[in-house]
């Protein structure tokens, strides 16, 4: 298990838009617009949520930590914030929007030119209290992975019946949805 490493985080964050694009862009809506049942997300919803995080969460909170430290608490993040913004858009539009925002945000992250001392600075999370900038940035990478994990599960769910007895060997069909919103 590794310590947080800013270059490793940037590497991971760099690849996610292209990975989701390759996974989803060419698929019929039968894969990308279906969810796991009431109040769950489709792949389309997840990409909308990732966009919302790019706009509202990761870089804004990083700057907030650097500016205010523990003296001010982050604004709570709205987990349904993407719903209105995604409405009427296509998945292709969302994938392009995510890729553009992520590239801009990685430019902004590099421009912060963070040193070890910066990464150890603390902010105040509304639920967790003190968190470090390092933890916040590591979570940005792990959050991408949480949603890749979720998308693979939501899509596999669509074939739960179709696979018949093979479901016993398909681990993704045994996932209990811990990465639901």
104-163 positions binding a second copy, by CB under 8 A: 125, 127-129, 131-132, 134-136, 138-139, 141-143, 145-146, 148-150, 152-153, 155-163
CB 53 within 8 A of CB 101: no
Closer of 24 and 65 to a second copy (Cβ):
24
d(CA 75, CA 174): 35
C-alpha–C-alpha distance, residues 168 and 181, integer Å: 26
Which residue in 18, 63, 110, 120 binds a second copy (CB under 8 A)? 18
Say how far residue 25 (Cα) sits from the centre of its chain.
17
Kindly tell me which residue out of 22, 107, 110, 126 binds a second copy, with binding defined by CB under 8 A. 22
Nearest one of 45, 57, 49 to 123, comparing CA atoms: 57
Q: How far is the CB of 26 from a second copy (least distance, A)?
A: 6
Instruction: Report phi then psi at 50, rounded to 5.
Output: -65, -40
In a 10 Å sphere around its CB, with 0-12 CB exposed, 13-18 middle and 19+ buried, how is residue 66 labelled?
middle
Closer by beta carbon to a second copy, 39 or else 88: 39
What is the total count of residues that contact a second copy (CB under 8 A)? 72
Stretch that binds a second copy, among 45-53, 81-89, 104-112, 164-172 (CB under 8 A): 164-172
Nearer to a second copy, 97 or 144 (CB): 144
Q: Which of 56, 66, 106, 173 binds a second copy (CB under 8 A)?
A: 173
Residues 6+ apart with CB under 8 A from 157: 34, 36, 173
Min dist. Cβ of residue 92 to a second copy (A): 14
* Residue 30 or 87 with smaller CB distance to a second copy: 30
In the region spanning residues 31 to 70, those forming contacts with a second copy, defined by CB under 8 A, are: 31, 34
CB of 106 to a second copy, least distance (A): 13
Instruction: Please list the residues that pair with 122 across neighbouring strands.
Output: 132
Q: Does residue 87 interact with a second copy by CB under 8 A?
A: no
CA separation for the pair 47, 85 (Å, rounded) = 11
């Amino acid at each position: 298990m590794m310590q947080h490493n800013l270059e490793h985080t940037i590497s991971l964050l760099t690849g996610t838009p292209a990975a989701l694009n390759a996974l989803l862009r060419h698929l019929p809506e039968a894969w990308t617009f279906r969810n796991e049942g009431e109040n769950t997300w489709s792949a389309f919803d997840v990409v909308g949520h990732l966009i919302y995080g790019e706009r509202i969460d990761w870089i804004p909170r990083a700057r907030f930590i650097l500016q205010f430290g523990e003296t001010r608490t982050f604004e709570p993040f709205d987990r349904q914030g993407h719903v209105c913004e995604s409405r009427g858009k296509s998945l292709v539009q969302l994938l392009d929007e995510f890729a553009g925002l992520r590239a801009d945000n990685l430019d902004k992250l590099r421009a912060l030119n963070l040193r070890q001392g910066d990464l150890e600075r603390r902010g105040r999370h509304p639920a967790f209290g003190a968190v470090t900038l390092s933890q916040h940035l590591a979570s940005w990478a792990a959050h991408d992975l949480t949603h890749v994990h979720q998308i693979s599960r939501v899509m596999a769910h669509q074939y739960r019946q179709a696979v018949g007895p093979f479901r016993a060997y398909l681990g993704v069909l045994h996932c209990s949805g811990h990465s639901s919103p």
